[in-house]
Amino acid sequence: MKKSDLDAEQFDRFVNFGRRALLGCGVGLGAVAAAEMLGMTRALGKAAAPASGASVSGLADKGTLGAGQFPGKAKRVIALHMMGAPSQVDTFEYKPALWQMHGQELPASVKGSARVSAMSSSQSSFTVMKPLTEFRQYGQSGRWISDLMPYTGQIADDLTFIHSLHTEHVNHEPASIFIHTGFQLPGRPAMGAWVNYGLGTDNANLPSFVVMKSQGVGGGVAANVNMWSAGFLPSHFQGVEFRPGTDPVLHVSSPDGLTRALRREQLDAIDEMSKIQYGLSGDPEIMSKIAQYEMAYKMQASVPEVADISDEPQYILDMYGPDVHRPGSFARNALLARRLAERDVKFVQLIHVGWDSHALIARLHPPECKLVDQAQAALVADLKQRGLLDDTLVTWGGEFGRTCYAQGGINELSGRDHHGGNFTMWMAGGGLKPGIAYGKTDDFSYNVVENPVSLHDLHATMLHLLGIDHKTLTYHYQGRDFRLTDVFGEVISSILA
């Protein structure tokens, strides 16, 4: 670094922050390496430096929109993704015709020429298969819900069902990326990252966007970072994954022998170096790195506290079911989601993998439903009893639906194939009309016949409930403005309270 690369004030700061100060503050060679990673040893071109005394650590506190563009009914989101795609006709969409037509060929007029998966296209027949169990009506709303989901039935009057969602994607990876990012290829920001970017955080000691995964009894494509990535947004907006156990976030805990005071000195030293380098390069990723370092320091205290459920009363643990005692289970993650919501974490994403039932659906779907049914109902009820449901939006659904016909014919090995033509999602709280169903499909749950809802419409509605106009939350990248809903999406006004 030459003196000509810096203005006089920057050069004095760099000289005064010399080698002796660097090594004497307890930072040691680790900070020298960090300085190298931050590019401090080379000048990348001049840019405006942060204002004197400005911190690079609190970048996402307010977000680019501050409190939102208009008063939103929801302050936070808990998104429950059932990855692998639950069967809507075996859970939440009651179709008596499937019992009547069981074993018969799906009419060609119903099947039509819509896109199907490669597995279905190789079938010679499409035999209608009845639901796995009976359905019954619940609550004053009279919602029809499968016997596989009895606990969810108990909260039916708090739920808003959408039966007319559809997607053009019939393979797990692009469909799952699409439902999280609004685009089928990796590289776009997830919705949680967009919300983080737009609204910032209400808790400076925890990430604004948290992700937790659980594994069910079935298979399916594994969840991956593309579903909670920041994409082209600055990297500190991406989701932070909480893993099972007492140390949920990787690389946050200090190694043995490194005290918290010494860690603070390290961060102060790196922060000082980053200010100098940012003054030279203007690279926003430098500031993102420092924001992440600072958040990691705060999480050393905040994450163990939120992950420790020993202070929960027994009746709450009983609500979520026996699986709540198993770290990494959906039940434990649901309880942690409520604890994060209490602490004003803006976006919590739970991904439960295991719903991909191309075969043995009668053997796999019932235990899969049991793994989530009690806990998801407890989550909604728990939020409600604490006064949090009114301003917390909870969503539940897969990346697409499943066929009303059997894959491989009707036998003990039968399954259901992927189906993008329609699928069901339920939502709760956050400014929605409870106890209603929106959208309608044909008698076979194969085609939408009333009020179709695209995933762009879903995203636009979720952002609206948070006080965001989806058309104006944009980020300029590679010469154009991008948004979560691309150039599509309409708010589903009929489901708003």
| Bridge partners for 488 per DSSP | none
- Please list the alpha-helical segments (H only) found in 386-413: none
Burial of 236 (0-12, 13-18, 19+ CB in 10 A): buried
Q: In this structure, are residues 60 and 21 in contact, taking their beta carbons and an 8 Å threshold?
A: no
Q: Regarding predicted confidence, which is higher, 100 or 56?
A: 100
Domain boundaries, the chain: 3-37+252-291, 76-246+309-495
Rounded to an integer, the average pLDDT of 324-339 is: 98
Q: Regarding predicted confidence, which is higher, 17 or 215?
A: 215
Q: What is the number of other CB atoms lying within 10 angstroms of the CB of residue 66? A: 11
Q: What are phi and psi of 482, to 5 degrees?
A: -110, 155
Nearest to 98, CA basis, from 67, 73, 134: 134
Q: What is the pLDDT of residues 442-478, one digit of tens each?
A: 999 999 999 999 999 999 999 999 999 999 999 999 9
β-strands 135-138, 401-402: how paired? unpaired
Asked if the model's pLDDT at residue 3 lies above 90, the reply is: no
Report the pLDDT value the prediction gives residue 283, as an integer from 0 to 100: 78
Nearest to 372, CA basis, from 338, 335, 407: 335
Report the pLDDT value the prediction gives residue 48, as an integer from 0 to 100: 37
Unique residue bearing structure tokens 């066929």: 403
Asked if the model's pLDDT at residue 157 lies above 80, the reply is: yes
Nearest to 250, CA basis, from 296, 205, 215, 193: 296
Nearest to 253, CA basis, from 288, 299, 208, 294: 299
What fold is seen in the domain 76-246+309-495?
Alkaline Phosphatase, subunit A (3.40.720)
Q: What percent of the chain has pLDDT over 70?
A: 83
Rounded to an integer, the average pLDDT of 27-49 is: 42
287 confidence band (pLDDT: 50, 70, 90): confident
Report the pLDDT value the prediction gives residue 179, as an integer from 0 to 100: 97
Report the pLDDT value the prediction gives residue 252, as an integer from 0 to 100: 67
The helix/strand/coil state of 146 is strand
Report the pLDDT value the prediction gives residue 302, as an integer from 0 to 100: 84
- Cα–Cα distance between 305 and 311 in angstroms, integer? 10
Residue 323 DSSP label: G
8 confidence band (pLDDT: 50, 70, 90): low
Report the pLDDT value the prediction gives residue 196, as an integer from 0 to 100: 95
Report the pLDDT value the prediction gives residue 277, as an integer from 0 to 100: 76
Unique residue bearing structure tokens 């005290």: 259
Report the pLDDT value the prediction gives residue 142, as an integer from 0 to 100: 98
Q: In the Cβ-directed half-sphere of 152, how many Cα atoms lie within 13 Å?
A: 26
pTM of this prediction?
A: 0.85
124 confidence band (pLDDT: 50, 70, 90): confident
Report the pLDDT value the prediction gives residue 45, as an integer from 0 to 100: 33
123 confidence band (pLDDT: 50, 70, 90): confident
Q: What is the pLDDT of residues 365-424, one digit of tens each?
A: 999 999 999 999 999 999 999 999 999 999 999 999 999 999 988 998 999 999 999 999
With a CB cutoff of 8 Å and minimum separation 6, the contacts of 344 are 75, 76, 201, 202, 203
Q: What is the pLDDT of residues 129-154, one digit of tens each?
A: 999 999 999 999 999 999 999 999 99
Structure tokens at 154: 């108990």
- Cα–Cα distance between 279 and 370 in angstroms, integer? 55
Report the pLDDT value the prediction gives residue 27, as an integer from 0 to 100: 46
62 confidence band (pLDDT: 50, 70, 90): confident
Report the pLDDT value the prediction gives residue 46, as an integer from 0 to 100: 35
Asked if the model's pLDDT at residue 18 lies above 50, the reply is: no
Containing H/E element for 178?
helix 172-181
Rounded to an integer, the average pLDDT of 194-211 is: 94
Residue 3 DSSP label: G
Q: What is the pLDDT of residues 236-273, one digit of tens each?
A: 899 999 998 767 876 666 666 667 676 667 777 777 77
With a CB cutoff of 8 Å and minimum separation 6, the contacts of 305 are none
Rounded to an integer, the average pLDDT of 80-104 is: 97
Report the pLDDT value the prediction gives residue 427, as an integer from 0 to 100: 98
- Cα–Cα distance between 492 and 462 in angstroms, integer? 9
- Cα–Cα distance between 167 and 310 in angstroms, integer? 42
